[in-house]
Amino acid sequence: MFGVNGASCPRCERKNGADARYCAGCGVILGAPRSKPVLVENRWVPAPDELAVFFGLRELSGLFVKTLRVPATARGFILQGDKATEVPQGEYELEGFFTRLNHLLRDQHAEILVTRTTALPVPFEFDDIPTCEQLAISVRFTVSIKIENVPAFARHFMTTPGTIGTPELRELLAHPVRQLALEFIGARSIREMAAGGALREELDERLQGGLKLLLADYGLAVTSVQTVELRHDKYDANRARVGSMWLAADEQHVQLAHKRHLDELYTAEEWQGIKRSEEEARLRIRRAELRQDDAIARAEMSLQGADRAHGVRARQIELYGRILEANSREQALAQGAGDVLAELQHEAAQKGAQRADEAAQWQHLRALAAVHMRAEVASAQQEAQHARQSAQQRFSQQLLQQQIRHKIDQARLIEDATRQRDELIRLRESEAEAARRMRDIDEAEYQARYQALKLVNDARLREAGRTQEWEDEQARQRIEGARRGAGKLDAEAQQDKLQRTIELEALQARSLQDVTLHADERRAGLGEAARAGERAHEIALARLAMERAAALGAMDDTAKLALADAANAVVLADYLKTRVHADMDADQLTALAGVAGAGKVDLGEAARAAAQLVRDEQARREHEVDKDRRHQLDLLTLQNDVNKAALHAQASVAGARQCVHGHALQRDERVCAACGGAPSA
């Protein structure tokens, strides 16, 4: 906290030097508020229209130039460093005070805060709050405010000595209070407010909840809000008042008296005109929002009507919420959501949403209302966030402007003319800078509203996408249901087909039983014929092997060696070599040895001879393999013939009829259609 250098003391009226910040006599900070009960009489009690009085002391012991009195209607706090100590009610002398509050330092700097025990009622009055039909409502209520958090209050308000009273609080809270009232009233029609018995309580709750969030950071709290008057005035073309309607006057007779009063105030034709104007305004604003991206030049006009657009959106959210809370169409109509319900029905009809019964159709309409409400709530939350930030900036800036004005008032008390002029010039510059920042805040608020409009367009697109996704999901569920129905029908068809197959198989089995009796005897003969065929095949193979061996024995030794198997060819070659050597005499054996020795000398010739022998042996073996392959093919052909004969025999046993040439005959055919032959016996 800092005061104004060179001012006269507000406590003892002593003149101080140009550079003095505290009074040289009593130690009170210069520039403190000239509150005679607090500073002079040393009785800590604020004025009836003051919430708090605060000032500083060079030394805490400077309080006790007189006996300190804290009455029951006031609360006193002493701030030293970062701690705030409350002074209980009573009267204090110097020694008794520091004995009771022994943690306070008597020779240290201190700041004093004097506030009220009860909350300070701050009145507000607005005459142009529109309803959803754009009918003006006059609102008058009081907001009771008290200090809840002393350190937070000191951090924001106690930067200079002074007071906070009703005018300062009204200036600080006028904009956010008006915005909250506009949100509440703009979402309702005048008939709904007239028929609502708890209208006053709902408005008080909305204002108290909204101000609580704003003032919590500044150490203030709203204890209660009391609506004094909620009135609608009707004017003629000459702006002369025709009649008035008090909406929150007497809740006990609100159901009958207000409704009758409304019927007397407006005729049926006037109500129809009001309803048409409301619908036209809502449609016009919705179209303007959709055209915002393509018509940037209309942004200024849209921003000028931002309050009206905000009221229309709040009305839409309120009606969507009523549809979601309703359990039936009749209940939604009774709650006044007929217009939005008709729009949703029209949208559902355009998209071809067909429902089997009324309950399913109502669920469909509730789902559409939920999608639309989600988009509206997202837009409203975005706007509320911007409004809350703007309100906090505006509140802080207005608080700074109030402090600068207070400094200007204190600077006028400086006795040195040169010092006073310099101080006023500096403070005027600070005031101009604060005004410029306030204009910047207003411009930023308009920019934020413009961005909010663009975000609303994006929300509309997301809403259309979510609606389409929901419709696709419903269509997919219908398709899956149809598929499940088709699958059930297919299963039933398969079951019928299986039943018919079982019956046919049973019928065929009974018919085959008759054939089995005649086929048993012929099966025995078929088995003997098959075994005879196998024995004949084995005998034929053995005969072929014997004939081959006999033919091989009749050949000369060279042919035997060439036609023998690979395994027998080596043994046969050794045998023939041994037999040839046994028939030679001594000279022949000597010559053979010489030939063998000569072969050892010429290695190249021996290699060529060996290669030629290898080629000859490979050719022989390939010839033998081909011969064996042809033999195997002959055997396979013979076996296939035997198998065919067996199959023909089985077919004849099973009752199939054939001609003499083996062709199949139908049951009633007497001549073969292929060859003209007679049936076989």
pLDDT at position 143, please? 94
pLDDT at 361: 67
For range 608-628, the mean pLDDT: 80
Above 50 in pLDDT, residue 250?
no
Using alpha carbons, select from 301, 320, 124 the residue that is nearest to residue 225.
Answer: 124
Q: State how beta strands 74-80 and 83-87 pair.
A: antiparallel
Q: Specify the DSSP class assigned to residue 680.
A: P
Please state the φ and ψ torsions of residue 107, each to the nearest 5 degrees: -105, 15
Residue 254 confidence (pLDDT) above 50: no
Please compute the mean of the pLDDT values over residues 235-250 and round it to a whole number.
72
> What is the share, in percent, of the chain residues with pLDDT greater than 70?
70
pLDDT at 591: 65
Contact partners, residue 115, CB within 8 Å, separation at least 6: 46, 51, 52, 53, 74, 75, 77, 146, 147
Mean pLDDT calculated for residue range 94-111: 87
Nearest Cα to Cα of residue 215 among 286, 120, 129:
120
Contact yes or no for 487/400 (Cβ under 8 A) = no
Write the CA distances from 29 to 39, 57, 59, 74, 427, integer angstroms: 11, 6, 10, 22, 19
Q: Crossing angle for the helix pair 338-350 and 358-411, nearest 10 degrees? A: 130
Q: What angle do CA 520, 523, 525 make, to 5 degrees?
A: 120
Q: For residue 382, what are the CA distances in angstroms to 180, 187, 357, 453, 637?
A: 15, 17, 38, 10, 92
| pLDDT tens per residue across span 324-355 | 788 887 888 787 777 777 777 777 776 554 44
Judge contact between 73 and 120, C-beta under 8 A.
no
Joined together, the tokens standing for residue 608 give 């060529």
| pLDDT, mean over the chain | 76
Averaged pLDDT, 397-409: 81
- Gap between the Cα atoms of 533 and 269, Å rounded: 114
Domains, the chain, ranges and CATH?
A: 1-118 (no CATH), 120-266 (3.30.479.30), 530-653 (no CATH)
Closest CA to 171 of 447, 438, 520: 438
pLDDT at 601: 44
Query: Which H or E element spans position 247?
Result: none
- In this prediction, residue 75 carries a pLDDT of 93
The percent helix, strand, coil of the chain (3-state, each to 5) is: 65, 15, 20
pLDDT over 60 (residue 390): yes
Quick one: how far is CA 183 from the chain centroid?
A: 27
Whether the pLDDT of residue 252 is over 50: the answer is no
For 152-170, what is the mean pLDDT? Answer: 90
Position with higher pLDDT, 324 vs 35: 35
Hey, what long-range contacts does 563-570 have (CB within 8 A, 24 or more apart)? 563/624, 563/627, 564/624, 565/624, 566/621, 566/624, 569/620
